[in-house]
């Protein structure tokens, strides 16, 4: 039971002590763990993770981001810490704090050059993700957000089985092909009894900077059907604006009032 | 040496018979195998694979597509065969032919429902990809295109080590963060002595359907620097037009003259 004392799922967990795969670090006190997932790549999981972290932080919560995308990590650039290097202090791995004091751990904080490829087999990748939970000195956090990689393979399974996540935010875009693949991720979470908190629809539209016209790029938007088939609610919609797209280039710095109000509405539904 | 007789890399291979991990199917005669990779998800690998297949097919070549994205397969929808089911005839797995006679193999042609998740550990996913090469009755093909999943993990390693690919087309978008992750994939290919044929830049710009203005969404386009750092050539640029984006919805059917001429130029550089 000692392992349960530092578990964010203490008193909310249906697993008896036997059969629990989770190793909690007694040095950490994490209140809530939220996974950001999609199943599909390139829909904006890392961008949504970074924006939610920034918003929670500005509301006064202490926040960490665990970048579980080992072979395609985006978080260090998005959080403005791409040149930092994490180190171990003997007790564990010390995460990097970004200028807003958001704690970050990513494989790209541990390699000599950020473009160095991680050519590892599945079990080794999964072990790295487990260590990012178990061996990192997160300290006290109100929220730990986990940026998950595409797919429903090894890493997704490891996060769902070895980290006591309280819920998942699914990120999708209004494209039928993507909804199909996101459905796979939702069904996987259901199989593993993980709560899906709702869906953030990214790239809902593009606004032409010249004529202000809102461009709906995708035909056959069946978002409502997808949400009702999967029994999920829409947490919010993010347009494909220069502000959001270029977060990947400039990092999350200032946020416009419009985006801030969308984020506030999303955060209020999941916190 | 019998294994070499049906190998697309016969006479072009530096590996001696010892140490070769590749199992060729003597029933198949495949002349060229090209991987389509990125490292990053959601940049258009599957779309580029489908467009190249369609173009090669219209030029009179026999073409197959091996969908190596086991946990996020897009090819059946893009090739208009999403409801087909592949079967085994006792000698091997029979691929699905689309209306243009392009042969397709994907995990989504083998599951009861296309939204059923594949929750498999890495080695099982890799075995499925190996089988798609070894056990599928591709027959005679001028080109087998392999649509690779995001990342540099298990599947990418399996494709590079267990399938005799002749070269890789890298797909990128003009965003620094993406170039960084694509660099990882290029370096992985270099490590494994696989020829990178060049880069297709997708989402180069968006054209406003209202005012025709070309919108460059991404700041900090360092494509030229990326190409020169990686010593790669640009095979072609694809804009983010409704025609291309909605291939995922309608499948690859008719192709406009403008897109056709871009594809012709790309194909002429890689064939």
Q: Does the annotation place B40 within a ligand binding site? A: yes
Say yes or no to pLDDT of A17 above 60.
Answer: no
- Residue/partner pairs of A217-220 with CB below 8 Å, 24 or more apart: A217/B206, A217/B240, A217/B242, A217/B245, A218/A173, A218/A174, A218/A175, A218/B245, A218/B246, A218/B249, A219/B242, A219/B246, A219/B249, A219/B250, A220/A175, A220/A176, A220/B246, A220/B249
**Section A213-242 average pLDDT:** 87
Residues in chain A closer than 8 A to B39 (CB atoms) = 71-72, 117
pLDDT at A63: 98
Q: Do B39 and A149 touch (CB under 8 A)?
A: no
pLDDT at A213: 84
Distance, in Å, from the CA atom of B244 to the CA atom of A75, rounded to the nearest integer, reads: 29
Q: What is the pLDDT of residues B28-64, one digit of tens each?
A: 999 999 999 999 999 999 999 999 999 999 999 999 9
Chain A nearest-CA residue for B42: A42
Residues in chain B closer than 8 A to A74 (CB atoms) = 177, 181
pLDDT at B2: 65
- Give chain B's end-to-end CA distance (angstroms, integer): 27
**Section A75-83 average pLDDT:** 94
Distance, in Å, from the CA atom of A42 to the CA atom of A54, rounded to the nearest integer, reads: 20
**For residue A57, what pLDDT band results from cuts at 50, 70 and 90?**
very high
Mutation for testing the A interface, residue in B36, B39, B117, B241 having most A CBs under 10 Å: B117
**What CATH class is the domain B29-270?**
alpha beta
Q: Residues 205-264, chain B: which have Cβ within 8 Å of A?
A: 206, 208-211, 213, 215, 217-220, 240, 242, 245-246, 248-250
Residues in chain A closer than 8 A to B211 (CB atoms) = 208, 210-211, 213
With beta carbons less than 8 A apart as the criterion, state whether A119 and B152 touch: yes
**For residue A18, what pLDDT band results from cuts at 50, 70 and 90?**
low
Say yes or no to pLDDT of A1 above 60.
Answer: no
> Is A185 part of the contact surface with chain B (CB cutoff 8 Å)?
yes
pLDDT at A98: 95
Query: What's A206's DSSP letter?
Result: E
Domain ranges of chain A: 29-270
Find the largest Cα–Cα distance for chain A: 62
Identify the residue with better confidence: B145 or A224: B145
pLDDT at B17: 54
> Is A114 part of the contact surface with chain B (CB cutoff 8 Å)?
yes
Among residues of chain A, what percentage have pLDDT more than 70? 96
pLDDT at A253: 77
Say yes or no to pLDDT of A250 above 80.
Answer: no
In this structure, are strands A196-201 and A206-207 parallel, antiparallel, or unpaired? unpaired
Say yes or no to pLDDT of B264 above 80.
Answer: yes
Residues in chain B closer than 8 A to A122 (CB atoms) = 121-123, 125, 153-154
Provide the shortest C-alpha distance from residue B148 to chain A (in Å): 12
The DSSP bridge partners found for residue A270 are: none
> Is B43 part of the contact surface with chain A (CB cutoff 8 Å)?
yes
Q: Do B119 and A191 touch (CB under 8 A)?
A: yes
pTM: 0.94
Q: What is the pLDDT of residues A148-178, one digit of tens each?
A: 999 999 999 999 999 999 999 999 999 889 9
**Section B57-80 average pLDDT:** 96
Residues in chain B closer than 8 A to A196 (CB atoms) = none
């Amino acid at each position: 039971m000692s392992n349960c004392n530092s578990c964010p799922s203490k008193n909310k967990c249906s697993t008896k002590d036997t059969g629990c795969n989770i190793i909690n670090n007694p040095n950490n006190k994490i209140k809530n763990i939220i996974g950001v997932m999609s199943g599909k790549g390139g829909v904006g999981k890392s961008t949504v993770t970074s924006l939610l972290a920034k918003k929670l932080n500005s509301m006064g919560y202490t926040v960490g981001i665990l970048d579980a995308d080992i072979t395609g990590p985006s978080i260090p650039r998005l959080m403005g810490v791409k040149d930092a290097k994490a180190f171990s202090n003997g007790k564990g791995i010390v995460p990097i704090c970004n200028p807003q004091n958001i704690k970050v751990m990513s494989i790209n904080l541990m390699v000599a050059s950020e473009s160095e490829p991680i050519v590892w087999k599945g079990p080794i990748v999964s072990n790295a993700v487990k260590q990012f939970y178990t061996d990192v000195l997160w300290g006290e956090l109100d929220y730990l957000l986990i940026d998950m990689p595409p797919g429903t393979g090894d890493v997704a399974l490891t996060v769902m089985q070895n980290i006591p996540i309280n819920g998942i935010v699914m990120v999708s875009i209004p494209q039928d092909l993507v909804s199909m693949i996101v459905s796979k991720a939702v069904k996987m979470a259901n199989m593993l009894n993980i709560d899906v908190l709702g869906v953030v629809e990214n790239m809902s539209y593009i606004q032409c900077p010249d004529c202000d016209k809102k461009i709906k790029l995708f035909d056959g938007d069946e978002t409502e059907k997808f949400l009702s088939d999967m029994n999920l609610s829409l947490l919010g919609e993010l347009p494909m604006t220069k502000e959001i797209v270029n977060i990947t280039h400039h990092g999350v710095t200032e946020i416009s009032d419009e985006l801030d109000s969308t984020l506030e509405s999303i955060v209020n539904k999941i916190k």
